[in-house]
């Protein structure tokens, strides 16, 4: 599935417009991206699309990111970003005529995936979570190193290439995977004025709410078979908090990658793709 085959369109929801890219045919597989500076669905998963041939891969930009609408301060005051995203994603999937689907999410997108699997469990066939927000109950100090770096990125003098290098360095165990061209591209993607404005509103709302929604309280409502993927060396959503997910999700298995940080799909690309394919296609 080459990137050139991806079709991107805009879905109007009651909240605002959602940009969604679709490629391939088969059982729908929804990929939810993380929340770093410059993040979007294609930016997070473009290099993994070929591995998911045989699925209808659906890549929505979450509210506040990519080509989707930016929630206002009043929106973030009334509901958390996860609640907003869950609402927008179900409206988007309804508009696409997608009733049931496999669901994969990383970090902030993992929180949205958890929220979707908790709120409408009958629609999620299988669930893959990569260091998800909200389902994690940390035992180490917070905010973590990665969370601090994300907060710094848009504050002070604003985005810089040096800040992007520091951000990437905390996201991965091996920064050498990212050359200067990768860093520059991620930096340029982070400069959208609407996204910067949203990030300040989001950080303020996040602080007022005391962090992510406590989704760990409702993990027992998830009925989908679930695969947890985690980097042992994750400095953003650390491995020490994963135990509550293993304890509370009914049908769960876990794979831990050594020498891997927060971006499993990048640092352990081949293993990630093989594990997810095996899990989604035949349950192994």
Annotated catalytic sites, by residue? 262
SS3 of 42, please?
helix
Contacts of residue 130, Cβ cutoff 8 Å, sequence gap at least 6 = 104, 105, 106, 107, 110, 228, 229, 230, 264, 265
Q: Which residues are paired to 127 by β-bridges?
A: 103, 226
Cβ atoms of residues 109 and 89 within 8 Å? no
- Give dist(CA 75, CA 195) in Å, integer: 15
Contacts of residue 110, Cβ cutoff 8 Å, sequence gap at least 6 = 32, 34, 129, 130, 131, 132, 133, 134, 135
CA 175 to chain centroid: 20
- Residue entry with tokens 């985005």: 159
Cβ atoms of residues 132 and 104 within 8 Å? no
- Supply 216's token pair: 């760990």
Is the bond preceding 143 in cis, omega lying within 30 degrees of 0? yes
- Supply 36's token pair: 């770093």
Please list the alpha-helical segments (H only) found in the chain. 41-45, 73-78, 81-95, 108-119, 145-154, 161-171, 180-189, 193-209, 243-248, 264-267, 269-282
Q: Which residues are paired to 9 by β-bridges?
A: 20
């Amino acid at each position: 599935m080459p990137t050139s085959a991806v079709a991107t369109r805009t879905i109007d929801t009651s909240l605002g417009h959602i940009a969604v890219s679709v490629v391939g045919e088969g059982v729908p597989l929804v990929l939810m991206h993380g929340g770093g500076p410059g993040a979007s669905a294609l930016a997070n998963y473009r290099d993994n699309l070929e591995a998911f041939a045989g699925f209808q891969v659906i890549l929505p930009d979450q509210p506040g990111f990519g080509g989707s609408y930016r929630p206002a301060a009043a929106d973030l005051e009334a509901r958390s970003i996860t609640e907003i995203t869950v609402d927008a994603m179900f409206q988007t999937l309804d508009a696409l005529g997608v009733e049931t689907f496999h669901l994969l999410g990383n970090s902030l997108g993992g929180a949205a995936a958890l929220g979707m699997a908790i709120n409408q469990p009958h629609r999620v066939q299988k669930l893959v979570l990569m260091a998800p927000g909200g389902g994690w109950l940390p035992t180490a100090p917070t905010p973590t190193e990665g969370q601090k770096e994300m907060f710094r990125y848009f504050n002070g003098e604003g985005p810089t290439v040096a800040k992007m290098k520091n951000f990437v360095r905390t996201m991965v165990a091996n920064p050498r995977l990212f050359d200067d061209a990768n860093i520059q591209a991620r930096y340029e993607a982070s400069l959208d004025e609407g996204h910067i404005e949203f990030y300040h509103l989001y950080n303020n709302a996040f602080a007022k709410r005391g962090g992510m929604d406590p989704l760990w309280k409702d993990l027992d409502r998830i009925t989908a078979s679930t695969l947890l993927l985690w980097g042992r060396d994750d400095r953003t959503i650390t491995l020490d908090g994963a135990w509550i997910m293993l304890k509370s999700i009914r049908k769960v298995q876990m794979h831990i990658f050594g020498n891997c940080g927060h971006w499993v799909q990048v640092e352990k690309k081949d293993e990630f793709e093989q594990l997810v394919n095996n899990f989604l296609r035949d349950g192994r």
